[in-house]
Amino acid sequence: MTSNDSVPRRRIGQDGPLVAAVGLGCMGMTRAYETDDDEPRSIATIHRAIERAAAAGTRPLIDTAELYGATANEQLVGRALTGRRDEVVLATKVGLVSVPPSAELPLGIARDARPERIADAAEASLRRLGTDVIDLYQLHRVDPAVPIEETWGAMAELVARGLVRQLGLSEVTVQEAERAHAIHPVASIQSELSLWSREPLEDGVLAWTAEHGASFLPYSPLGRGVLTGAVDVAALGQDDFRSLLPRFQGEAWEQNRQAVQVVAEQARRLEATPAQVALAWVLAQGEQVIPIPGTTRPARYDENLAAAALRLDDEARAALDTTTAAVGGTVSP
């Protein structure tokens, strides 16, 4: 399966826009993993997502954040959307900022979701993105120094001012989602979900989104690309973030690589690609699920979008369900 015959659509939140069921994560376009920075190719990928969705009468969800590339990612997305802003549903995030790496913050990422920062941060994102409204403004992480009500209240003011259309959360607990929802509707929750990262299935967050009319946006649905079988884990360079992740080291990797094999076997059997099988499993977790795989290559967006038309049969579901979540975990700021 290499192209999509039809593009299923899913809605953002209860009353938000319809989008193609597979979105596009832009983080890798400014060097998160070991890819060559290729802005023309990245912009072509965003344009491909627009064209594929438009052909099906819809728009793609494009996901970025002020954090990515220390704001360079939003600038790249802004350049890609010049003259085409209305052809996408645009999502960005606030609450994680880039800082010099230190012993305390080795990833060079700090949480900052103080309410007094929110309006300035949103206006700076709007400028970088070259737009006057953000469709989905997401809290990247809850700031432990700030009650979520205060951050969320400041974000809700942006909706009242017309700068933002809907609000989303990322990596929250059910209790945090409840507290935010009591102040302003939670349109989406973005958390890691893949065959290797199943916490949202177990901690009630995925179920909470279904019960409250919110979308669930799985990030890293391809296991940071590794579930596709296209990454040689042993050869990851030190400047590739994945080389830091415990799940790709030593004995943990020996165990975790079994899932890569199962995905490859099912892909062969279903005449699909491994990426499509990994995404189809995520999409099958609920009608509210809209994965945002990251790619910097137009042809891979086509491939990933086609996963929305792939039906996993019982044998595939059983084989994939019996793989286990990754041991060794991941690293989250």
Ligand X SMILES: NC(=O)c1ccc[n+]([C@@H]2O[C@H](COP(=O)([O-])OP(=O)(O)OC[C@H]3O[C@@H](n4cnc5c(N)ncnc54)[C@H](OP(=O)(O)O)[C@@H]3O)[C@@H](O)[C@H]2O)c1
d(CA 146, CA 321): 38
Q: Is 18 exposed, middle or buried (0-12, 13-18, 19+ CB in 10 A)?
A: middle
Min dist. Cβ of residue 287 to ligand X (A): 20
Smallest separation, CB 221 to ligand X (Å): 5
CB of residue 27 to ligand X, shortest distance in Å? 3
At residue 294, what are phi and psi to the nearest 5 degrees? -95, 135
The 3-state secondary structure of the chain reads CCCCCCCCEEECCCCCCEEECCCEECHHHHCCCCCCCCHHHHHHHHHHHHHHHHHCCCCCEEECCCCHHHHHHHHHHHHHCCCCHHHCEEEEEECEEECCCCCCCCCCEEECCCHHHHHHHHHHHHHHHCCCCEEEEEECCCCCCCCHHHHHHHHHHHHHCCCEEEEEEECCCHHHHHHHHCCCCCCEEEEECCCCCCHHHHCCHHHHHHHCCCEEEEECCCCCCHHHCCCCHHHCCCCCHHHHCHHHCHHHHHHHHHHHHHHHHHHHHHCCCHHHHHHHHHHCCCCCECCCCECCCHHHHHHHHHHHHCCCCHHHHHHHHCCCCCCCCCCCC
Which of 21, 22, 26, 89 contacts ligand X by CB under 6 A? 26
Kindly tell me which residue out of 30, 166, 256, 304 binds ligand X, with binding defined by CB under 6 A.
304
The residue within the footprint of ligand X, chosen from 280, 300, 309, 326 (CB under 6 A), is 300
Q: Does 294 contact ligand X by CB under 6 A?
A: yes
Give least dist CB 202 to ligand X, A. Answer: 18
Which residue's CB atom is positioned nearest to ligand X? 25
User: Which is catalytic among the residues 33, 68, 137, 301?
Assistant: 68
Q: How far is CA 223 from the centre of its chain?
A: 11
Residue number with CB closer to ligand X (71 or 304): 304
Contact call for residue 125 and ligand X (CB under 6 A): no
Does 78 contact ligand X by CB under 6 A? no
Quick check: 60 binds ligand X (CB under 6 A)?
no
Identified binder of ligand X from the candidate list 196, 270, 303, 305, rule CB under 6 A: 303
Which one of 4, 166, 170, 215 is in contact with ligand X (CB under 6 A)? 170
**195 or 316: CB nearest ligand X:** 195
> For ligand X, which residue of 27, 97, 142, 283 counts as binding (CB under 6 A)?
27
Window contacting ligand X (CB under 6 A); options: 49-57, 178-186, 201-209, 292-300: 292-300
- If one asks whether residue 200 binds ligand X (CB under 6 A), the answer comes out as no
Distance CA(315)–CA(219), nearest Å, equals 26
Under the criterion CB under 6 A, does residue 48 sit at the interface with ligand X? no
x-or-dash string of contact with ligand X, 251-280, rule CB under 6 A: ------------------------x-----
- Residue 171 within binding range of ligand X, rule CB under 6 A: yes
Judged by CB under 6 A, does residue 292 bind ligand X?
yes
Q: Does 230 bind ligand X (CB under 6 A)?
A: yes
Contact with ligand X (CB under 6 A) among 88, 222, 259, 316: 222
68 is catalytic: yes
93: β partners: 138
Distance between CA atoms of residues 212 and 118, nearest Å:
25
Catalogue the active-site residues.
Answer: 68
Q: Which residues here bind ligand X, judged by CB under 6 A?
A: 25-28, 33, 35, 63, 140, 170-171, 190, 219-225, 228, 230, 275, 292-297, 300, 303-304
